């Protein structure tokens, strides 16, 4: 045993000085939890992989049919299925991370009331699970590009940056909903509503360029608008233009969401064990 | 020697809502209550806000202070609701104190439940890794101890079977095995030995003793007094959130028993029964231990005749009552049970009569210590009353046995013996 052990002091309302170091120490738990959820998901379903691929594929087909064939909306030069799918990827990541994180603390209530670890690990690993699904669905996008003989421009190399933004948005919203859900259980009802409603107010089935110019800044108050536009800009290349004021607005809102999410989560996490 | 855990004036308050069972609130309630307060305020702007009757403060711990030295094995005892689990939860950082301060030196691992985070769909092997990570072990540590964990749990053949197919015994063994191989400086354990069979419990206790012998600190909560006594050198007694006693384990157990028996405090007729249909038809109202000279006393010599005067009140006309008396050690170990029906004694009485009975147990060769009497009334094999540990008495050594051999090591019964050279 080392002689110079650090002394841990527990006091009411005392901020955890070693919180981030602790979080780093528990990184293995974080991977184990994500690994458990992925393993369990694919163990229980016989067609697990097919399910992860089928859902976005069917959604894409329906959206293409409705928005392109019936509503005859413009496709910005790229095949409409690719236009839809470039948006569906980040949207489904966000939606599943949001609802996954929202439920994560409640479904791990047993662990929270019996063991200490930085609680941030739980919603974060729920987001990771959704991220794995996101990567799997990415295969479809590649397949679509090959099918249509679509070659992306060099802008595709900026995609990781936009993935990072999508990650931040999912994490921020996920932390908020996770913490709120512990205290006020009615947020459980709000989650499916946000996910469903968000699909319509985000430019998933159509390009945000059809939104009239004077409304675009207002439209960008939805942080997912910036994320989706960024994805399209990176993937589709060509004529797609990024509406910079709107993107910057979305980006700042994502950052705000993430920072306030972390602050709120950290403020409430010490009482989780008492109320859960 | 320096203290590894130092607790100063620790208190923890919970708010109990009387409207609902759950700890969480719903947003709807918050909004409606908020609106109600606002309208109340508008209607009676100068009224003093009264205390919310639906919420009540409850102090699970109040002003608890103690120090624990390195290598101590400390038992925490107290009745249900005394605050033991709350104390462990604060020490393991699961919840934070309302006031007070704790300083801890070294890594703490807490085991408040076996198998936290076990997932039924995952195999034994996968759960070992997962549970180890949850308890704070690194992957390398788990790998290092993996074989040892598996052999301790005796589940070699089922490593790749989902734990939902395990028997409950295997499940518990595996869960404890993972926890037992934690290598923290401070180990906090709550009542986990209540599970598993006797042999495995023994193994677990042995493992925990090893942990203590390696110079690590152990905090242990249990209702199993004999396990606590075997394992812990010093103890803490909690009652209603307040620390009643701290010091050597034997002294703390003594106080705990003083706390939980009622002699001289109230009549045994008033002791709450475990079931509300006990003591309705016939009820023990008084009981006294009596020595061989016919005096009511609570101290006896080993080998003396011990008898008990029992008063039973009948609330209706009763007959064929059988009385049962069980003798327990203070570690909840049953020494013997006597039944009046076995010797053909059945009692009867009219409505509102008090039936007074004396039962004698001749030459009770108990080893010195504290004993308790548990009483029951039966009619046609169905119980009418049952009082656990109704009275308590002490047995001390017979003065003439000037033995050079320590009587506490001579077993539970100090029997007479006759010796002849053949």
ipTM of the complex: 0.80
Chain B CB within 8 Å of residue A111 CB: yes
**Separation CA A195–CA A185 (nearest Å):** 17
Gap between the Cα atoms of B252 and B256, Å rounded: 6
A151 shares contact with chain B (CB less than 8 Å): no
pTM over 0.90: no
Give the burial class of A202: count Cβ atoms within 10 A of its Cβ; 0-12 exposed, 13-18 middle, 19 or more buried.
buried
| Interchain CB distance below 8 Å, B133 and A28 | yes
Residue A40: predicted pLDDT: 82
Express as a percent the part of chain B with pLDDT over 90. Answer: 12
Residue B265 burial (C-beta neighbours within 10 Å; 0-12, 13-18, 19+): exposed
Cα–Cα distance for residue pair A89/A86, rounded to 1 Å: 6
pLDDT at B391: 84
Residue A115 and residue B94: Cβ atoms within 8 Å? yes
When pLDDT is averaged across residues B65-80 and rounded to a whole number, the result is: 86
Measure CB to CB from residue A36 to each of B100, B110, B130 and give the nearest one.
B130
Q: Would you state the pLDDT for residue A169?
A: 95
Residue B179 — pLDDT band, cuts 50, 70, 90?
Answer: confident
Q: What is the mean pLDDT of chain B?
A: 81
For residue B91, give the H/E element and its range: helix B84-91
- Between positions 188 and 227 of B, the ones with CB within 8 A of A are 215
**Bridge partners of residue B57, in order along the sequence:** B15
pLDDT value of position B263: 44
Check if B136 contacts A (Cβ < 8 Å).
yes
Does the pLDDT value for residue B21 go beyond 60?
A: no
User: What pLDDT is stored for residue A252 in this prediction?
Assistant: 94
- CB contact (8 A) between residue A112 and residue B138: no
Closest residue in A to B129 (Cα) is A32
CA distances from residue B41 to B34, B37, B45, B49 in whole angstroms, order as listed: 11, 6, 5, 9
B71: number of Cβ within 10 Å? 16
B89 within 8 A of A273, measured Cβ to Cβ: yes
- B122 in A contact zone (CB under 8 Å): yes
The answer to whether the Cβ–Cβ distance between A43 and B121 falls below 8 Å is yes
Per-residue pLDDT of B254-290, as tens digits, reads 787 766 554 444 567 777 777 778 888 999 988 888 8
**Interface probe, candidates B5, B93, B125, B128, chain A, greatest A C-beta count within 10 A:** B93
Q: Which residues pair with B103 in a beta bridge?
A: A9, B6
pLDDT at B262: 45
Helix residue ranges, H only, B23-71:
27-43
Phi, psi (deg, nearest 5) at residue A180: -65, -35
pLDDT at B405: 62
Burial A42-73 (b: 16+ CB within 10 A, else e): eeeeeeeeeebbeebbebbeebbeebbeeeeb
The C-alpha atoms of residue A221 and residue A251 are separated, in whole angstroms, by: 10
pLDDT at B265: 46
- Report residue B399's pLDDT band, with 50, 70 and 90 as the boundaries: low
Would an 8 Å CB–CB cutoff place B104 in contact with chain A? yes
Query: Where do we find the tokens 């609680």?
Result: A119
**Is residue B222 over pLDDT 70?**
yes
Q: Which residues on chain B are in Cβ contact (under 8 Å) with A275?
A: 23-24
Would you give the DSSP letter of residue B351? T
**Alpha carbon of B243 to those of B63, B76, B186, B227: distances in Å?**
8, 10, 21, 21
Q: pLDDT tens, B137-164?
A: 888 888 999 999 898 888 888 999 988 8
Q: Which residues from chain B sit within 8 angstroms of residue A184, using beta carbons?
A: 24-27, 30
User: How confident is chain A (276 residues) per 10-residue block, as mean pLDDT?
Assistant: 61 71 84 87 71 83 88 82 91 94 90 88 92 90 90 89 94 94 86 90 87 87 91 84 87 95 90 82
Q: How confident is residue B80, by pLDDT bands cut at 50, 70 and 90?
A: low
Q: What is the dihedral of CA A121, A126, A131, A137, to 10 degrees?
A: 170
Structure tokens at B384: 């009418």
Chain B residues 2-21 with CB within 8 Å of chain A: 14
Q: Can you say how many angstroms the Cα of residue B188 is from the centroid of all Cα atoms in its chain?
A: 16
Rounded (5°) CA angle A175-A181-A182: 100
Q: Does A185 contact B92 at a Cβ distance shorter than 8 Å?
A: no
Taking residues B98-111, what's their average pLDDT? 86
**Sheet containing strand B306-314, strands side by side:** B282-290, B306-314, B354-361
Identify the bridge partners of residue B25 per DSSP, sorted by sequence position.
A184
Query: Between B26, B110, B185, which is nearest A186 by CB?
Result: B26
Using CA atoms, how far residue B156 sits from B13, B146, B150, in Å, is: 46, 11, 6
Nearest to B97 among A7, A10, A184 (CB): A10
Average pLDDT (B115-132) is 87
Q: Pick from B90, B104, B134: which is nearest to A29 by CB?
A: B134
Model confidence at B404, pLDDT cuts 50, 70, 90, reads low
Q: What is the pLDDT of residue A1?
A: 39
Q: Do A274 and B103 touch (CB under 8 A)?
A: no
Beta carbons of A275 and B133 less than 8 Å apart:
no
């Amino acid at each position: 045993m080392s002689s110079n052990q650090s002394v841990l002091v527990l006091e009411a309302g005392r901020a955890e000085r070693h919180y981030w170091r602790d979080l780093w120490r528990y990184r293995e738990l974080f991977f184990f939890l994500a690994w458990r959820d992925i393993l369990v998901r694919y163990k229980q379903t016989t067609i697990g992989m097919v399910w992860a691929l089928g859902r976005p594929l069917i959604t894409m087909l329906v959206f293409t049919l409705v928005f392109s064939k019936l509503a005859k909306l413009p496709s910005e030069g790229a095949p409409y299925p690719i236009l839809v799918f470039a948006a569906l990827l980040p949207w489904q990541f966000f939606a599943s991370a949001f609802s996954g994180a929202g439920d994560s603390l409640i479904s791990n209530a047993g662990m929270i009331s019996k063991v200490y670890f930085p609680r941030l690990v739980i919603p974060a690993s729920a987001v990771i699970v959704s991220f794995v699904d996101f990567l799997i669905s990415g295969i479809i996008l590649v397949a679509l590009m090959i099918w249509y003989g679509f070659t992306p421009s060099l802008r595709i190399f900026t995609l990781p940056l936009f993935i990072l933004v999508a990650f931040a948005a999912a994490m921020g919203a996920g932390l908020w909903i996770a913490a709120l859900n512990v205290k006020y259980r009615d947020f459980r009802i709000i989650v499916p509503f946000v996910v469903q409603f968000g699909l319509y107010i985000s430019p998933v089935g159509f390009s945000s360029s059809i939104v009239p110019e004077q409304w675009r800044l207002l439209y960008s108050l939805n942080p997912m608008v910036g994320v989706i536009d960024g994805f399209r800009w990176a993937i589709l290349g060509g004529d797609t233009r990024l509406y910079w004021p709107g993107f910057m607005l979305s980006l700042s809102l994502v950052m705000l969401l993430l920072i306030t999410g972390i602050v709120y989560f950290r403020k409430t996490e010490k009482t989780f064990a008492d109320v859960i | 020697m320096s203290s590894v855990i130092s607790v100063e004036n620790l208190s923890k308050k919970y708010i109990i809502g009387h409207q609902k069972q759950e700890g969480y609130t719903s947003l709807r309630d918050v909004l409606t209550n908020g609106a109600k307060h606002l309208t109340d305020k508008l209607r009676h702007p100068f009224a003093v806000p009264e205390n919310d009757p639906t919420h009540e403060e409850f102090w699970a711990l109040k002003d608890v202070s103690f120090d624990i030295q390195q290598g101590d094995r400390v038992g925490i005892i107290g009745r249900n609701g005394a605050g033991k689990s709350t104390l462990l939860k604060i020490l393991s950082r699961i919840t934070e104190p309302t006031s007070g301060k704790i300083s801890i030196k070294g890594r703490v691992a807490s085991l408040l439940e076996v198998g936290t985070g076990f997932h039924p769909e995952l195999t034994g092997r996968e759960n070992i890794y997962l549970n180890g990570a949850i308890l704070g072990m690194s992957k390398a540590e788990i790998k290092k101890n993996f074989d040892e964990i598996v052999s301790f749990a005796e589940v070699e053949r089922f490593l790749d079977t989902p734990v939902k197919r395990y028997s409950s015994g295997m499940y518990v063994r595996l869960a404890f095995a993972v926890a037992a191989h934690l290598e923290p400086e401070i180990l906090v354990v709550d009542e986990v030995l209540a599970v598993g069979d006797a042999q495995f419990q023994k193994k677990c206790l042995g493992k925990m003793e090893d942990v203590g012998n390696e110079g690590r600190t152990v905090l242990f909560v249990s209702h199993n007094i004999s396990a606590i006594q075997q394992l812990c050198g010093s103890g803490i007694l909690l009652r209603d959130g307040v620390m009643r006693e701290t010091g050597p384990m034997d002294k703390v157990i003594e106080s705990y028993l003083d706390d939980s028996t009622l002699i001289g405090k109230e009549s045994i007729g008033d002791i709450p029964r475990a079931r509300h249909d006990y003591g309705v038809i016939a009820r023990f109202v008084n009981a006294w231990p009596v020595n061989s000279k016919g005096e009511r006393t609570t101290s006896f010599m080993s080998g003396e005749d011990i008898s008990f005067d029992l008063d039973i009140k009948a609330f209706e006309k009763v007959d064929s009552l059988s009385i049962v008396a069980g003798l327990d050690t203070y570690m909840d170990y049953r020494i013997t049970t006597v039944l009046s029906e076995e010797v053909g004694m059945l009692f009867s009485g009219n409505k509102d009569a008090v039936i007074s009975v004396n039962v004698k147990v001749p030459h009770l060769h108990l080893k010195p210590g504290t004993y308790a009497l548990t009483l029951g009334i039966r009619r046609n094999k169905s119980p009418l009353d049952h009082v656990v540990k109704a009275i308590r008495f002490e047995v001390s050594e017979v003065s003439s046995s000037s033995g050079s051999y320590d009587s506490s090591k001579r077993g539970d019964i100090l029997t007479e013996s006759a010796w002849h050279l053949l």
